[in-house]
């Protein structure tokens, strides 16, 4: 059973290691690539379930090998599914990695990650939120079952109050105006581990976006002193300074 693994391609732009705990995701993002990658229909993907046996497999893996670089939770799902509050699978995985794995980065759209701030802060791990847009109408259209972006920003504020380093994924960018709004709304956050900005792919709607202009907005924002990382597909639309090219955590 696959536990901690080394992702390839665009997924690897986030972290050298990843761990997927759930199969499927209930957040219902219309732009999600995961069903395509996993060869699942969107309906099947929405019917989320814990990966049976993943905790025992993780324990076995860690007896043999400890990843020295960042492990991202997760690439093919969100580690904070609504059922997490009952099954506590992500919590259990964090407890297994507690004191063993030097750096875990949790990326989520769900605010229930707050329940795990204790163990994340204790280990000096990182919490990130995906913010593809800010307006509620956009979020309700494109991410219908996830908490609203404003709630995710409040979750990041709380994480920073707990002394947890944060990061933000603005991927995929859904419109130029929404990107500008997101960047304005997160100005007060430290986001020490960076703001990753990525292009919308595999969708005809994405062709209506002026990606050169999106890239310029991102580059200009970096002048405010925030750590911005431009993902490869977006970087193709202009000259990106080396310090803004994607880099791993930790
Ligand atoms: S939260 Fe992530 S994994 Fe879940 S549906 Fe949205 S994009 Fe896909």
Q: What is the pLDDT of residues 126-152, one digit of tens each?
A: 999 999 999 999 999 999 999 999 999
Question: 34 CB under 6 A from ligand 1?
Answer: yes
From 77, 198, 200, mutation site for ligand 1 pocket: most ligand atoms within 8 A of C-beta: 77
The pLDDT of residue 43 is 95
Q: Which of 40-44, 64-68, 246-250 has the lowest mean pLDDT?
A: 246-250
Report the atom number in ligand 1 closest to the C-alpha of 74: 3
Nearest to 182 by CA among 228, 117, 144, 145: 228
Q: What is the pLDDT of residues 199-217, one digit of tens each?
A: 998 888 999 999 999 999 9
- pLDDT over 60 at 250, yes or no: no
Question: 32 CB under 6 A from ligand 1?
Answer: yes
CA of 78 to the centre of ligand 1 (A): 6
Q: What is the pLDDT of residues 78-127, one digit of tens each?
A: 999 999 999 999 999 999 999 999 999 999 999 999 999 999 999 999 99
Strand order across the 228-230 sheet: 17-18, 71-73, 104-108, 126-130, 165-170, 195-197, 228-230
- pLDDT over 80 at 11, yes or no: no
Domain boundaries, the chain: 9-244
Task: Please tell us whether the domain made up of 9-244 is placed in CATH 3.20.20.70.
Answer: yes
The pLDDT of residue 202 is 82
From 32, 73, 131, 148, mutation site for ligand 1 pocket: most ligand atoms within 8 A of C-beta: 32
């Amino acid at each position: 059973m696959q536990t901690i693994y080394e992702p390839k391609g665009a997924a690897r732009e986030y972290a050298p290691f990843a761990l997927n705990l759930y199969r499927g995701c209930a957040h219902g993002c219309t732009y999600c690539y995961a069903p395509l990658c996993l060869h699942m229909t969107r309906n099947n993907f929405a019917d989320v379930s814990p990966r049976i046996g993943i905790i025992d497999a993780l324990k076995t893996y860690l007896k043999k090998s400890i990843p020295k670089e960042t492990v991202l939770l997760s690439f093919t799902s969100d580690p904070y599914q609504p059922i997490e509050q009952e099954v506590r699978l992500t919590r259990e995985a964090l407890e297994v990695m507690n004191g063993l794995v030097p750096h875990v980065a949790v990326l989520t759209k769900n605010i229930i990650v707050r329940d795990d701030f204790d163990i994340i802060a204790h280990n000096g791990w990182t919490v990130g939120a995906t913010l593809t847009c800010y307006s509620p109408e956009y979020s309700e259209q494109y991410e219908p079952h996830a908490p609203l972006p404003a709630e995710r920003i409040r979750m990041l504020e709380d994480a920073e109050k707990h002394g947890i380093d944060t990061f933000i994924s603005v991927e995929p960018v859904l419109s130029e105006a929404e990107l500008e709004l997101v960047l304005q709304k997160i100005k007060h956050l430290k986001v020490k581990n960076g703001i990753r900005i990525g292009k919308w792919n595999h969708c005809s709607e994405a062709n209506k976006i002026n990606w050169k202009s999106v890239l310029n907005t991102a580059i200009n924002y970096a002048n405010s002193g925030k750590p911005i990382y431009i993902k490869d597909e977006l970087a193709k639309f202009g000259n990106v300074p080396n310090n803004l090219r994607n880099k791993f955590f930790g």
